[in-house]
């Protein structure tokens, strides 16, 4: 599968469920990122892979002049609706983050909270981040740690998924500081911070049901399987979350990193 076809499918996949419900569950991550970037009135700000707009909303409420984009038309429509409900003026667009229409050095701040990490061509993303950020400007990204938390959940789902196309990067590579240094270190002075956005719930079954209802990748995988295989996926994922049961229900640590950079 060529990346063009893959990205077309990704746009449909991410828009297949009400991601705004998932976005609310990771609000601690969005708050962390925006606080570290410290939006200022009038600041030219771009949020790439905006999803349903949570980071863009926070920056706009602080007075930044925000543009925001995503690959999924459905998610952008939801973000536009929610921005209007909140009285926020944000320039939303459907954009492939690997090849954006924005001019060189157009923005003082470029953000993406677990957004652009899901694009398949990591080098292209790194190039766009460098191109659209003005000298002395800043970037801020969040990424899940590999093999723990959300990364561990994806490992549990992997036996049920088709293999990724050759050459496509994994989103969890962005959770490794040395990998990010290799991608962005020439263009940005980087620093890294750690955080946690825990998964909580009453039961493993309830948590997985929520993912199937609200999270496009999980819903798409679930709906693509034959009934017996689908039932096996449901059992596997419910049992996965049950591993994190404590006295007060399910509590799974989901570590992430905040990647901050200043354009050289």
Give the pairing type, strands 249-252 and 245-246: antiparallel
> What is d(CA 33, CA 225) in angstroms, rounded to the nearest whole number?
36
Question: 112: which strand partners?
Answer: 141
> What is d(CA 140, CA 115) in angstroms, rounded to the nearest whole number?
11
Threshold 0.95, pTM exceeds: yes
The CA angle 34-15-202, to the nearest 5 degrees, is 70
CB 137 within 8 A of CB 37: no
pLDDT of residue 2: 59
CB 85 within 8 A of CB 119: no
DSSP annotation of 77: H
**Structural domains of the chain sorted by starting position, each given as residue range(s) with its CATH number in brackets:** 3-148+164-200+253-263 (3.40.50.150)
pLDDT of residue 164: 87
Tokens of 18: 């009400």
Question: Could you tell me how far CA 119 lies from the centroid of its own chain?
Answer: 10
pLDDT of residue 1: 45
CB 8 within 8 A of CB 72: no
pLDDT of residue 191: 98
**Strand ranges across the sheet with 249-252:** 199-201, 249-252, 245-246
> What is d(CA 101, CA 86) in angstroms, rounded to the nearest whole number?
27
Question: What's the 3-state SS for 105-137?
Answer: CCEEEEEEECCHHHCCCHHHHHHHHHHHEEEEE
Chunked into runs of 10 residues, the chain (264 residues) has average pLDDT values of 83 97 97 98 98 98 98 98 98 98 98 98 98 98 97 97 92 98 98 98 98 97 98 98 96 98 98
């Amino acid at each position: 599968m060529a990346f063009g076809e893959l990205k077309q499918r990704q746009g449909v996949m991410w828009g297949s469920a009400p991601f705004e419900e998932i976005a609310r569950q990771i609000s601690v991550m969005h708050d962390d990122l925006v606080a570290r970037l410290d939006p200022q009135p009038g600041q030219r700000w771009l949020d790439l892979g905006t999803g349903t707009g949570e980071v863009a909303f926070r920056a706009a409420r602080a007075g930044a002049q925000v543009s925001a984009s995503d690959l999924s038309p459905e998610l952008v429509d939801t973000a536009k609706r929610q921005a209007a409900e909140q009285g926020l003026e944000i320039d939303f667009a459907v954009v492939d983050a690997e090849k954006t229409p924005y001019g060189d050095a157009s923005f003082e701040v470029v953000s993406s909270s677990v957004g652009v990490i899901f694009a398949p061509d990591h080098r292209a993303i790194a190039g766009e981040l460098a191109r659209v950020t003005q000298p002395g400007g800043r970037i801020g990204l969040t990424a899940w740690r590999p093999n723990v938390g959300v990364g561990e959940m994806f490992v549990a789902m992997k036996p049920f998924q088709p293999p990724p196309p050759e050459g496509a990067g994994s989103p969890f590579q962005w959770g490794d500081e040395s990998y990010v240094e290799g991608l962005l270190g020439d263009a940005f002075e980087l620093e890294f911070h750690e955080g946690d956005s825990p998964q909580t719930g009453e039961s493993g079954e309830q948590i997985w049901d929520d993912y199937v209802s609200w999270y496009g990748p999980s819903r798409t995988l679930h709906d693509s399987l034959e009934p017996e295989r689908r039932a096996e996926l449901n059992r596997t994922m419910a049992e996965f979350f049950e591993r994190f049961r404590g006295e007060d229900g399910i509590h799974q640590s989901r570590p992430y990193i905040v990647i901050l950079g200043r354009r050289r």
